[in-house]
Amino acid sequence: MAFNIIGATLFGDAFFDWSDAAAYEELLMMVAKDGCFWASYAVPPFWKPGYRRGGVSNGMMSGDGAAEGPHSAEEETCGSIMGLMLHVLACFNTSCSCCFILQLYADIVAICNESSELNIDDVLRMQYLLATVCESARLLPAGPLLQRCSLEHDLTLESGITVPAGAVLVVPLHLVQMDNSMWGSDAGQFNPQRFLEKDVDIGGILHYLLFLILLLIVTEILAAPKGSNGIDLSTECAKTESFLPFGSGSRACVGQKFVILAISMLIASLLRNYEVR
């Protein structure tokens, strides 16, 4: 009810179809995001007339600065409820971000205390930092897809599907990297911790090519039974294969280790020297 009254007040029914569930959800997300953004600024609350007169326009508002009369007590109450809800959301997000940053900072400080100069070996020991960079690349891969094409031969996948020679196979990175069956029910959430759990090996990701060669040696040449060395190789491989911001296989990005280390080094240097607000 609160959303409908506020929505009708702010956006007008002419601008929005309230029976459209998907659009409604999108609107809620937009309001939530806007709410978090505006919550950090000293602007009048958006349910007050001054908010619109201030010329705020985000595409869904009329933005023409039309004069509003004083709002009713009901509208004010709904506005307060809405504001409270947005603040709870903002507090939750803020506390999550603080936790991540504090853990990162703790990781960096613990290692930097030992030496004054920050070097690659230090960064390689910052497991939480590396995990954070990997988790960012998982949720927001720089490229949306990978492509593969078998030029000469048809390719039969394990599932039995045959991809004809010459057909371009597109791998949608976002879908693979947010696959619940691979990453768990919280696949859509930012959680660097997942890379520190024992069945995901950051070293394996950083040294992916080496990892594949080792895997080949262990599983095929020596024909060692799976898990004989205490690690479930099929799980390791599957997890690593569902982490593809730098591609996979013989055509994987040659710069991937450099990139992860360079980003980690930059973040470590920044967080070590500056307080980020």
> Would you state the structure tokens that stand for residue 99, as one six-digit string?
């936790």
| Residue 172 touches ligand HEM, criterion: CB under 6 A | no
Phi and psi at 58, nearest 5°, equal: -125, 25
167: helix, strand or coil: coil
Question: CB 268 → ligand HEM: shortest distance, Å?
Answer: 17
At 185, the amino acid letter reads S
From 200, 208, 247, 268, residue interacting with ligand HEM (rule: CB under 6 A):
247
Q: How far is the CB of 174 from ligand HEM (least distance, A)?
A: 13
Residue 32 has a CB neighbour count (10 Å cut-off) of 15
Does residue 251 touch ligand HEM according to CB under 6 A?
yes
Q: Is 253 annotated as a binding residue?
A: yes
With binding defined as CB under 6 A, does residue 253 bind ligand HEM? yes
Find the part of the chain contacting ligand HEM (CB under 6 A) among 27-35, 157-165, 191-199, 241-249: 241-249
Write down the least CB distance from residue 130 to ligand HEM, Å. Answer: 14
With a CB cutoff of 8 Å and minimum separation 6, the contacts of 191 are 135
Residue with tokens 């730098």: 246
- Is 245 among the residues that bind ligand HEM (CB under 6 A)? yes
Q: Is residue 34 within 8 Å of residue 28, measured between CB atoms?
A: no
Q: Is the dihedral angle over the CA atoms 126, 128, 132, 135 positive or is it negative? A: positive
Q: Which stretches of 113-179 are DSSP H helices?
A: 120-125, 127-139, 173-177
Site mask for ligand HEM (CB under 6 A), range 122-161, x = bound: --------------------xx--x---------------
Name beta bridge partners: 170.
147
Comparison of 227 and 249: residue with beta carbon closer to ligand HEM: 249
Mark the segment that binds ligand HEM (CB under 6 A) among 8-16, 95-103, 104-112, 250-258: 250-258
Contact set for ligand HEM, span 18-77 (CB under 6 A): none
Q: Other CB atoms closer than 10 Å to residue 105's CB: what's the count?
A: 17
Task: State the binding site for heme.
Answer: 253
The residues that touch ligand HEM, with contacts defined as CB under 6 A, are 142-143, 146, 245-248, 251-255, 258-259
Task: State the binding site.
Answer: 253
